[in-house]
Amino acid sequence: MTSRPNLTPRTVLVVGGGTAGNSLTVLLRKAGIDVDLVECKADWNVHGSGITTQGNALRVLREIGVWEEAEKHGFGFDDLGITTADGTVLHVESHYRTGGPDLPAIVGMQRADLQHILIEAVRRSGARVRLDTTVQQLEQDAAGVDVTFSDGTTDRYDLVVAADGLNSATRAMIDISERPEPVGMGIWRVCAPRPESVQRTDLTYGGPCYIAGYCPTGQDSLYAYLVEPQRDRASLEPHTYADEMRRLAEPYGGAWNEIRASITDPEQVNYTVFTRHLVEGPWHRGRVVLIGDAAHSCPPTLAQGAAMSLEDALVLAELLTGHDDWDDELLTAYYERRVPRVRLVVDGAVQICRWQLDGVRDADVPGLIDRTMTVLTELP
């Protein structure tokens, strides 16, 4: 990545310290741009279960400078298994190395580990970080944005980047109306000890759930998940989460026998619904621009959510550091470069859900995956 040829210091506010926001912060700081990062959570959002990072995500982590650390904490593998509900392996295939031949096809990680790695990279970058802080008001003109924060302070920036997730408050502030919509499925996730037999992701399509799967996230850990019809979360009692996930996992065999026995702590289990959204038209209004889940989200059926956020950060950083004029044309170019690739992933992930919800037995899932991964092998 090359620095843009300007002599005037530029300042960027990144709103949200998740995968997209942290990554963009590091990339901009590497180019010498001043960055403030604000995060609403006092603990810097260090939580979650597991995450499947495919090669195109790993490629960005390498550009950020944290690939070796991620590799050390994760579990890399190249194969994907398909099993019956009793654990019988039907098929094993080599997964797509979307990051190139020198990176694994997949690295499973604990989300908290990836967040810690990115947090340390932000700290090393010299960015100014404010936790437990939100943006209360944005007032912009042609030259910049005046931002009022929750502590009553105000500062001015050349650009504000909304990386504040699915329910982005910043997105609402700039009157972008698209919101995440449920697709009709929900997912139970849990972190658990890794049985020795688990060396890759295995997926089961069938049984009482649409999908039962697991992904190794380290030498001693994995995360497991069960996808079912969406429930009303208000009807779920958090203290029963472990019992409910064990009940749903009961018909599944193989490694699930050990995984199921370890699901005892309801605080280690979470339930979320699958959503879909894609902001149509440019992802900016004036000098405020969206990246990551603030701009798009999709079900994890292609395991590309984090990868799309990381790619957003990479592309936006390349454009900002390579051009002197941070104008409407540049931010529109960011959208136009990203939207075909993101739309492919969002539509593909939702299509897999719809096939399952509609009980389509002859759906061409392998063909859809092949077409998608072939595109993702190319640079974003």
Whole-number Å distance between alpha carbons of 160 and 331: 12
Residue 163 tokens, joined: 């990386």
Domains, the chain, with CATH or none: 11-75+100-180+275-376 (3.50.50.60), 183-274 (3.30.9.30)
* Residue-level pLDDT at 1: 52
- Strand 50-54 to 135-140 pairing: unpaired
Question: How confident is the model over 132-148, as pLDDT tens digits?
Answer: 999 999 999 999 999 99
Residue 8 pLDDT level (bands cut at 50, 70, 90): low
Residue 7 pLDDT level (bands cut at 50, 70, 90): very low
Residue 27 tokens, joined: 């990339």
Residue 305 tokens, joined: 């959510």
pTM of the predicted structure, to 2 decimals: 0.95
H or E element in which residue 57 lies: helix 55-64
- Give CA separation, 375 vs 93, 97, 279, 314, in Å: 19, 12, 21, 17
- Backbone φ, ψ for residue 142 (5° rounding): -65, -20
- Rg over alpha carbons for the chain, rounded to the nearest Å, is 21
* Strands ordered across the beta sheet of 50-54: 50-54, 106-110, 75-77
Residue 274 tokens, joined: 């699958």
Residue 196 tokens, joined: 């020795």
Whole-number Å distance between alpha carbons of 342 and 380: 10
**Dihedral (C-alpha) 284, 288, 289, 292: value to the nearest 10 degrees?**
-130
290, 296 contact by CB (below 8 A)? no
98, 109 contact by CB (below 8 A)? no
Residue 2 pLDDT level (bands cut at 50, 70, 90): very low
Q: Taking 70 as the threshold, does the pLDDT of residue 311 lie above it?
A: yes
